[in-house]
Structure 1
Amino acid sequence: MLSYAEEILLLALDDETGAIKPLPAQAMHYALAGALLIELAMAGRIDTDLQTLRVTDRAPTGDALLDDVLQRLTAPQPVPRKTSDWLGQLVTDMPDLQERVLARLVDKGVLRIEDRRILWVFAVRRYPLLEDREVREVRARLRAVIDSDDIPSPEEAVLIALVNACDLFDEVFTPAELRRLGPRIDTLSRLDLIGREVASAVDEISRSVAAAMLPHL
């Protein structure tokens, strides 16, 4: 079974080349951090509301990546911190998060590592799929819940919010389908608190980048 972080990263990989697709600024970093917080919440280790994120159980989960995050959350803080604050902190403190999630997918036999050189000089690493069963399953699950009138489960709402924050639904639906289903995607994306915080952070960064570029246009 794949984690939220692993599913998001699978959708972000080009099926043919194994390269990460172009995404909004910092979207993947925030989505992965948010996915880990959600996993901890579902494991009963943290609780969140509109104001604060609280650790409710310090016991290790047995998952090295989740326990790394949990240890950071349990460090003494001068004042309670919001979920959005923790997202930003995790993105800053865990710059290798994407590589760690990719390594897990390699260990699970979902991806393989392929090192190449561009122009025989520049080294690049790609992660082609060994088989596409897992990514097809994620896409099918998203299609089933969004293209219906069903109320998503908490797990499905989480995934929808994170995929939407990364602007990855064009990997699931055709342009015509997205025009029809866009309002429902937006509605469902607001059902999960941490997912909303991820989307807000990505949107704020994207607007900042666009504003910084305006003087140069």
Structure 2
Amino acid sequence: MGASIHLGSKGLSIAEALELLRLTMPPAQRSLSWWCDMDYALAAAHLIDLSITGEIDTDIDTVTRRGISRTNMASTAALATLGRYGGIVRTDVVIEDIVSRIGDLRAGILATLQRNEAIRVRGEKVAWGFLQQQVDIANAREVALLKESLIGLIEGDALPSPEEAALISVLQASGIIADVLGVASPRPWLDRHRSRIQMLHRMDLVGQTVSATINGVRGRLHAYVLGAQPETGGKSTRSGALWEWRVFWPAEDSVTLPEALPLIGRGHDAGEEVNADIYLFLSGKRDNIKFRGKGLKVKPVIEAFDEFCAFGASGKVGFPVRAETLSGIFPRFNEVRVKLRTRDQMLSALSATGYRPGMIEVHKTRRQYNAILGVKIELAQIKVSGRMFHSLCLESKFLTALRVLSRHIAISGGIVGGYSEFLERVSLSRG
């Protein structure tokens, strides 16, 4: 094996090695299940790396921070979770939290690999400041040698290093070991070497703990969600509901799209659309409300889940209108017994009932694309209060598809949230 590709304190971390192995896999259309398996494997590798460097301790059920700090950007995902919960957290909670922002972790790992000249990363322009990530392996032969070494350990009887045992353990737990190592005839190979793989897996105590959790979490996801409707990736929340996930960045920041959103060479699926709208936002409400003509256009939130919103069908309301008829949109209007004849009267009624309404004009130019499983992608350039932003929106009737794809996006300095939350934040921050 090449000297620069070994594992351990003077070589690659477990997570870095896993990413290099993934990047050498043949390009193909990736399913949600495939991305989920890779995401959970990377989360497990991240935890094992932190344990090896002494930053955390793990037991059967929990992860504990030891207080040792490093400056490596890729090591912050789990530590941030532990910090939020007092330093001791259930292992499954930590893993799910790492996976929920796997894009930021993966971006940090790729940046480290690029600094160490193991890979070359470039961005190809898609639209405005959106770039498609392109990664090349600097020395594919060295990665091939790493694969050969791992295969040799599995097929032979030599003792692995702790790092090699940990990497094999992670690959085994995530169900992707044969695919990542690129062996011929994966199923017969796994059948022949299953006992040896299990023996190597048991040699790594931290890997065993993390892997047991990974198996449970991943198993439930595949059994109840990904496996429920293979062609669609999950069940619809209810008829007519659409889930959305949005993020906004200042226009001066470039945005790198991950491999899970491959848009290069496809062209946008519809013509570029330009529009201007006046949005109504109210603190604490996530409904999408615009002033249109002499009335309102309302897209109500049916359910909100973390960074995701399920919206019902849009409806229109014209003036004049009795306030109580708007109580489905503004519940506090149940006690308002007047007819609202104008926009200004409605704003006054909102203020009188304790809402904090605001209005702001948004100019948007957008392009739409189709991703896997019917997910729609909107890339946009918007102007708000004289400031320019880039915006990315994922939309689908299947929440699981959005959860998997959105977590691959490295947020960095972006603002995650719907238009109402974003516009309130912009309005409060303008000078």
TM-score, with structure 1 as normaliser:
0.79
Q: 1:198 aligns with which of 186, 190, 214?
A: 214
In the alignment, the residues of structure 2 paired with residue 195 and residue 82 of structure 1 have an alpha-carbon distance, to the nearest angstrom, of 14
CA apart distance, 1:91 = 1.7
Kindly indicate whether residue 176 of structure 2 is the aligned counterpart of residue 167 of structure 1: yes
Q: Which has the higher contact order (CA 8 A, sep 6+)?
A: 1
Moved more, 1-10 or 108-117: 108-117
Matching residue of 1:86: 94
| Contact preservation (8 Å) 2:77, 2:98 | no
Matching residue of 1:53: 63
CA apart distance, 1:131 = 1.5
| Contact preservation (8 Å) 1:161, 1:199 | no
SS in 1 for 2:138: coil
Deviations for 1:164-200, whole angstroms, at most 9, x for unmatched residues?
A: 2151423422215333213422443354221332233
Moved more, 196-205 or 83-92: 196-205
Q: 1:216 to 1:102 in 2, by over 3 A?
A: closer
Kindly indicate whether residue 162 of structure 2 is the aligned counterpart of residue 154 of structure 1: yes
Q: 1:66 aligns with which of 61, 64, 75?
A: 75
| Contact preservation (8 Å) 2:50, 2:75 | yes
Deviations for 1:123-145, whole angstroms, at most 9, x for unmatched residues?
A: 64221212114312321221222
In the alignment, the residues of structure 2 paired with residue 158 and residue 100 of structure 1 have an alpha-carbon distance, to the nearest angstrom, of 21
In the alignment, the residues of structure 2 paired with residue 16 and residue 167 of structure 1 have an alpha-carbon distance, to the nearest angstrom, of 14
Deviations for 1:95-121, whole angstroms, at most 9, x for unmatched residues?
A: 422222222222221222244579xxx
Amino acid at match of 2:120: R
Matching residue of 1:136: 144
Amino acid at match of 1:64: M
Task: Structure 1: give runs of 5+ residues left out of the alignment.
Answer: none
Matching residue of 2:196: 184
Q: 1:137 to 1:76 in 2, by over 3 A?
A: same
In the alignment, the residues of structure 1 paired with residue 37 and residue 225 of structure 2 have an alpha-carbon distance, to the nearest angstrom, of 12
CA apart distance, 1:85 = 1.4
SS in 1 for 2:84: coil
Q: 2:224 aligns with which of 187, 192, 208?
A: 208
| Contact preservation (8 Å) 1:50, 1:82 | no
Q: 1:204 to 1:68 in 2, by over 3 A?
A: closer
In the alignment, the residues of structure 1 paired with residue 124 and residue 107 of structure 2 have an alpha-carbon distance, to the nearest angstrom, of 17
Q: 1:80 to 1:214 in 2, by over 3 A?
A: same
SS in 2 for 1:213: coil
Matching residue of 1:3: 13
Amino acid at match of 2:74: L
**How many aligned positions are there?**
211
SS in 2 for 1:60: coil
In the alignment, the residues of structure 2 paired with residue 137 and residue 67 of structure 1 have an alpha-carbon distance, to the nearest angstrom, of 30
Whichever structure has more helix as a proportion of its residues is: 1
Whichever structure has more strand as a proportion of its residues is: 2
Deviations for 1:45-73, whole angstroms, at most 9, x for unmatched residues?
A: 211111221122x1212323214532432
Q: Which runs of structure 1 show a deviation greater than 4 angstroms over 4 or more consecutive aligned residues?
A: 19-23, 114-118, 214-217
Amino acid at match of 1:196: A
Question: Could you tell me the percent identity over the aligned residues?
Answer: 27
Q: 1:95 to 1:21 in 2, by over 3 A?
A: same
Task: Structure 2: give runs of 5+ residues left out of the alignment.
Answer: 1-10, 234-431
Q: What value does the CA root-mean-square deviation take over the aligned residues? A: 3.2
| Contact preservation (8 Å) 2:91, 2:210 | yes
Amino acid at match of 2:22: A
Q: 1:156 to 1:136 in 2, by over 3 A?
A: same
In the alignment, the residues of structure 1 paired with residue 232 and residue 73 of structure 2 have an alpha-carbon distance, to the nearest angstrom, of 44
| Contact preservation (8 Å) 1:161, 1:196 | no
In the alignment, the residues of structure 2 paired with residue 21 and residue 67 of structure 1 have an alpha-carbon distance, to the nearest angstrom, of 27
